[in-house]
Amino acid sequence: MRLVMDTVEEEFVEIPIPIPSSTSSSSMAKRPCPSQNPRMELENLLYQFLSLSDRPSLSLDLSFENLLQSMPPDTDLIDRALKMGSLLLDAAKHSSRKRASNHNSIVWPLPPDLTFKIFSMLDTQSLCYVSAACSFFSKCAKDPLCYENLDLTTLVPKVNNAVVATMIQRAGKALRSLKLGVVPATACSPGFCQPMVSTIRKAIVEAPNFSWNDKRSRQGRESSVLTRCCLSPLSGDGGAPGALLRKLHLYNIERMDSTSLCGALSACPSLLDLEIVGIHVELRQTLMSVSANCHLIERLFFESSRTGRDDSLKAQTCSELVNNCPNLTSLSLRGFKLHDCKVRILVKGFRKLKYVDFSSSYSITGNFLRNLGNCNGGNLLEVLILRDCMHLKEMEVIRFLTAILAGDFKLLMHLDISNREGLACEADWYHRCYSSNNMPIKQVLEARPDMRLVAEYPSEGSYAETFDAEMNSDISLQFSSPTSDGSIFMSTSESSYNSDHGSGNEEGQDAVIYGESSDEDNNMNL
């Protein structure tokens, strides 16, 4: 090898050393005279070589080729050139990065703790982009406080278990809120709203820029789909991430099942707000798990993935839930088969219950509302939503409205008894009552001007609402429009009652609202 080195040196000496032109703007600065130090020798060689770049007619490839031809045929000159070229390239890039980092630290003088203060105010997606700006930001963005509220929901399946795991791990015990899954776009512009889609398939088809070919081509590579154990990181690290988790919202995670969900819930004893939409889990098992693990729970929102077919709820489950979770103030069970007797246990039993939503439920007739207004549970009710309950009887509704007129349910602010199929007639639920003429709606509104009453029914044979102007309560056309984060805002008297995801059966029809819409914060933007 030494031999070859000498050869190269000799060759090098023969090439005239260029004197950097002083008029060239890219010329290199002059260096002090080389000394005999071997390290300096290498640096000088490097300097000489790099000075070549000033040469106006540099033909490095030609010189290299000539050199190669003058060497014995078994020479490894090409390998050397490749190796040295690569080493030089790496060195230059490394130094360039170092200088960029230094530059960054001058330009951004804030220490990490102030930097990630800004980052902690960003949503999860924006955080990913910010952390890719430079290495300092990347470091700052790893602080647990930036991951306090994780929103990993997407329009189509894109998040996989690895992403979830990374984020949860970074949050550690700072994790307070986790939203995960597929939330279809509502594609609303102010003023009207298209029907919500709850199935992933339809959502995928309607999502922009997504093609089935994309999905197929990803099959070979790592899956972009969440599997059943996507929430297992909550239990990891001694259960630290789940321990202080307050909010868990899960949407349309196809592969999640009861066991994995219940496993996740067992890691979240501090849970206050649980929202589960379109997950293939059994209501009873889920409620049992909540009962067993989440005693502090304040809000439960379940929407079935198999509308009307989950019949699992048992009376005992309801009793246990009532006993173990006394803090519940908001209960939504949508799309399940619920029986009046069981529902009654729930509504009577939760002493702090204010918000109830049993939309799209099957089997309940409204019987559970009887004699509810003057006892423990029920008289605190502020919101009651019984939209599209197929077996809800007109007679029970009339009874309920009469009870309101009699002075019960003093705190009730919002009542929704709309049904796109009309209410069930007493004898046979196949027969529908389409008009609201039998119901004392006007009287209720007169007696309770502060209440908002929604009662949309199709006129017989059609689905359009036609309400005469002779109805002389305040009629204001209101539309559902999403809040700024894309969720459907249910108009209630308290803005905390937000539903992040509508029922698959709800259609955004024009709602004719009876009653005063005096609360500014309830108004939907037209």
Contact between residue 321 and residue 353 where contact means Cβ atoms under 8 Å apart: no
Residue type, 296: L
292-295, long-range: CB < 8 A, 24+ apart = 292/266, 292/324, 293/265, 293/266, 293/268, 293/269, 294/265, 294/268, 294/269, 294/325, 295/269, 295/324, 295/325, 295/327
Residues 317, 287 contacting (CB under 8 angstroms): yes
Q: How far is the CB of 485 from other proteins (least distance, A)?
A: 11
* Strand residues in 184-328 grouped as ranges (E): 247-251, 273-279, 299-304
| Cβ at position 520, least distance to other proteins in Å | 14
Strand-pair partners of 300: 274, 331
Residue 223 or 319 having the CB closest to other proteins: 223
- In contact, 14 and 20? CB cutoff 8 Å: no
Closer residue to other proteins (CB): 125 or 323 = 125
Nearest distance in Å: CB 487, other proteins: 15
Contact between residue 388 and residue 422 where contact means Cβ atoms under 8 Å apart: no
State the nearest-atom distance from the C-beta of 142 to other proteins, in Å: 11
Calpha distance 64→77 (Å, rounded): 9
What is the C-alpha separation between 250 and 439, in angstroms, rounded?
Answer: 38
Question: How far does Cα 484 stand from its chain's mean position?
Answer: 13
- CA 252 – CA 421 distance, rounded (Å): 27
CB of 99 to other proteins, least distance (A): 8
Q: Which is nearer to other proteins, 188 or 405 (CB)?
A: 188
- 8 vs 163 by CB, closer to other proteins: 163
Please identify, using beta-carbon distances, which residue of 133 and 526 lies nearer to other proteins.
133
Contacts to other proteins by CB under 8 A: 93, 97-98, 100-101, 103-104, 107-110, 114, 117-119, 121-126, 128-138, 152, 154-156, 158-160, 163, 166, 224
- Closest to other proteins by CB, 69 or 209: 209
Distance of closest approach, residue 426 Cβ to other proteins, in angstroms: 50
Cβ distance to other proteins smaller for residue 12 or 129: 129
- 122/229 with CB nearer other proteins: 122
Would you say 103 or 351 has its CB closer to other proteins? 103
Phi/psi at 215 (5° precision) = -65, -40
Alpha-carbon distances of 362 from 174, 311, 422, rounded to whole Å: 40, 9, 14
How many Å is the Cα radius of gyration of the chain?
Answer: 34
Contact 387, 501 (CB under 8 A): no
Q: Is 70 helix (H, G, I), strand (E, B) or coil?
A: helix
Q: How far is the CB of 160 from other proteins (least distance, A)?
A: 7
Q: How far is the CB of 240 from other proteins (least distance, A)?
A: 22
Nearer to other proteins, 32 or 208 (CB): 208
The secondary structure of 329-393, three-state, reads CEEEEECCECCHHHHHHHHHHCCCCCEEECCCCECCCCHHHCCCCCCCCCCCCCEEECCCCCCCE
The minimum distance between CB 111 and other proteins, in angstroms, equals: 9
Residue 350 phi/psi, 5-degree rounding, is -80, 115
C-beta of 47: minimal distance to other proteins in Å? 25
